[in-house]
Chains A and B, each alone.
Chain A
Amino acid sequence: MHRSDRAGTPASGTVVECRAVCKAFRQRQPSERPRDLLRNLLHPRFRTIEALRDVSFTVNRGEVVAYAGPNGAGKSTTIKLLLGMLAPTSGSVRVLGMDPVDDRTRYVGRIGVVFGQRTELWWDHPVAASYEWKRVVWDIPRERFDRMCGVARELLGVGESWNTLARELSLGQRMRADLGMAMLHEPEILFLDEPTLGLDVLAKRSMTRLVRQLSATGSVTVMVTSHDMNELEQLAGRVIFIESGNLAYDGDFASLRREFGDLRRLVLETDSATPPSLPGAELVGSHGLRHEYRLAGGGADVASLLSLAGEQCRVLDVETHRAPIDEVIAGIYEHWGRTRPAGTP
């Protein structure tokens, strides 16, 4: 792919556009009972799964968007639709002004994809061979290839595994090599599907740092899915939540916290093993002289609470912090779980 291929794409504006997208699948429901063998053969049962229902959103150039939701919510289906691997049952998907299915070959030359669970590397070959393979198949000009190899070596540390067989790489090395390979043709949009799955803390941090560096240039739009909400909050300015195929939230993380309860924690260390009674704060637990409370976001007046606590015992130390985003999300998932209509996946 050459620079000229990108002519006609605006430098800013919408690059991803999903309008009223629905996607339904038929799923076989075989009985496990041996006596139903013939029935399974002759009259198999199916059910229809509505993986996506009337989902609409747009993504602008240079944005980093987290795409999240519980298992089976429709994340992978959306990513596959955006990659041109699936066509919507109804509605329309346009990315970079193209239909990902109809214009597939032209389109995929301008995007990059990293699947945490699937490697694009050649298993029995050194990383260098996979990169060379990519250069030929993607028809990447030599100058760009050399420059991006340099970027991959420098930013991702791919140099250390350059001559190592893919099968002998650690998961972290493999993911970095995969990401470097996805960047070789300088894609305009990078789709990262669970890119940090199974990575240790350092490898995750390194991956997060790199994606932030990429997005800082403003030329790459990133869509990332993950179950690690802390990581998504660090990476993305915007999060789209999908639940049971419906778009449940689209906005920034701060608004998400406000909307679904900005939980904060107050930890008091006192001279008493009995926790002070604080109206408006819910006691989470006590460990010796340390007492932890959950505060409702925004409404709780910490100074009043401290004053109230001081009347009941001597306060030795105070800590306040925001609840981890994972806790907020868990609350949202639990809420969805309770309110989900029967029969939905």
Chain B
Amino acid sequence: MLGENPLFLLTYLLRLLRLAALLAIWRAVFAARGQVGGMAVDQVLTYTLLAGILAEPLNCRTGLDRSLWEGAIVTRMLQPMGLVASFVSEMAGRWAVGFAFCSLPMLLLAPLLGVDPWPASASAAAWFGLSLALAIVVGVALDFLYGAAIAVLKTDIWMLDGMRHAVALLLSGAVAPLALLPWGMGRWMQWLPFGALASAPLQIYTGAGDAPMLLALQAFWALALCLFGRWVWRVTRERMVSYGG
């Protein structure tokens, strides 16, 4: 896709612009303040940078919804691999291109943007790798549950997609760290599965969260959602095929 036209690179330029704007806004918000919600401005900036760099893995979109809506799910089922493997491998391929043309340049530009891109500690980096893997598992499971919801409700994807996007951005902590929300909302929001998507790995990376507790919570959601997803898939399989085939 990228090889077809250099204009695709503009998409990444737009992402960089968005990141720069958010960093500037955080600096303004934190001006003349010390720590807020246990986070210092440097941590928030690193958090925001990483959320921009890892935007795709922190909010997995496999393309299942579109495949269902286009009626192409049956062709996927005829491929000699599992449905999850088929969608995940395709998604990973997309990420690789995005990583090369967007994430890596963002990382390299971080010092110019005045952001320290390094993790809080070596152990934070190690835990972060595991946490990111769990975030992807949770994300894929949620994406498949979302696909099942489309097939069960037999509704169009635009409406659900808008809702999902808005809710995930708010509850996952991808835009604003949950710890910065008022009235201690972040404390209970991080217990939701959405918190396992972005908030947990980013907190671990920036050293703003309790790594073992966050990892345990992510592992719980990964297991619970995978099991639930398998069950939902089994129950709704026929309906999905009739809807999306």
- State if A and B touch, Cβ cutoff 8 Å: yes
User: Which residues in B have their C-beta under 8 angstroms from that of A36?
Assistant: 3
Tell whether, in the assembled complex, residue A40 and residue B4 are in contact, meaning their CB atoms are under 8 Å apart.
Answer: yes
A36 to B3, alpha carbons, bound, how many Å? 8
A30 to B3, alpha carbons, bound, how many Å? 7
How many A-B pairs with Cβ below 8 Å? 17
Tell whether, in the assembled complex, residue A30 and residue B156 are in contact, meaning their CB atoms are under 8 Å apart.
Answer: no
Instruction: Determine whether A42 belongs to the interface, using a CB cutoff of 8 Å to chain B.
Output: yes
A40 to B9, alpha carbons, bound, how many Å? 13
Q: Which residue of A lies closest to B100 (CB)?
A: A37
Chain B contact patch, size range: under 10
A31 to B3, alpha carbons, bound, how many Å? 8
Instruction: Determine whether A124 belongs to the interface, using a CB cutoff of 8 Å to chain B.
Output: yes
Tell whether, in the assembled complex, residue A41 and residue B6 are in contact, meaning their CB atoms are under 8 Å apart.
Answer: yes
A40 to B3, alpha carbons, bound, how many Å? 5
Q: Which residue of A lies closest to B9 (CB)?
A: A41
User: Which residues in B have their C-beta under 8 angstroms from that of A124?
Assistant: 156
Interface 0/1 of B61-100, CB less than 8 Å to A: 0000000000000000000000000000000000000000
Interface 0/1 of A20-31, CB less than 8 Å to B: 000000001011
Cβ of B95 to closest chain A Cβ, rounded Å = 16
Please pick, from A28, A31, A37, A44, the residue contacting B2 in the complex, using a CB distance under 8 A.
Answer: A37
User: Which residues in B have their C-beta under 8 angstroms from that of A37?
Assistant: 2-3
User: Which residues in B have their C-beta under 8 angstroms from that of A31?
Assistant: 3
A30 to B156, alpha carbons, bound, how many Å? 35
Tell whether, in the assembled complex, residue B2 and residue A30 are in contact, meaning their CB atoms are under 8 Å apart.
Answer: no
Interface 0/1 of B1-13, CB less than 8 Å to A: 0111110000000
User: Which residues in B have their C-beta under 8 angstroms from that of A44?
Assistant: 4-5
Cβ of B208 to closest chain A Cβ, rounded Å = 38
Ordered by A's residue number, 10 sampled pairs between the chains whose C-beta atoms are within 8 Å are A28-B4, A31-B3, A36-B3, A37-B2, A40-B4, A41-B3, A41-B5, A41-B6, A42-B6, A124-B156
Chain B residues at the A interface, C-beta cutoff of 8 Å: 2-6, 156
| Given A37-B2, A41-B3, A41-B6, 10 additional A-B pairs, CB 8 A | A28-B4, A30-B3, A30-B4, A31-B3, A36-B3, A37-B3, A40-B4, A42-B6, A44-B4, A124-B156
Chain A residues at the B interface, C-beta cutoff of 8 Å: 28, 30-31, 36-37, 40-42, 44, 124
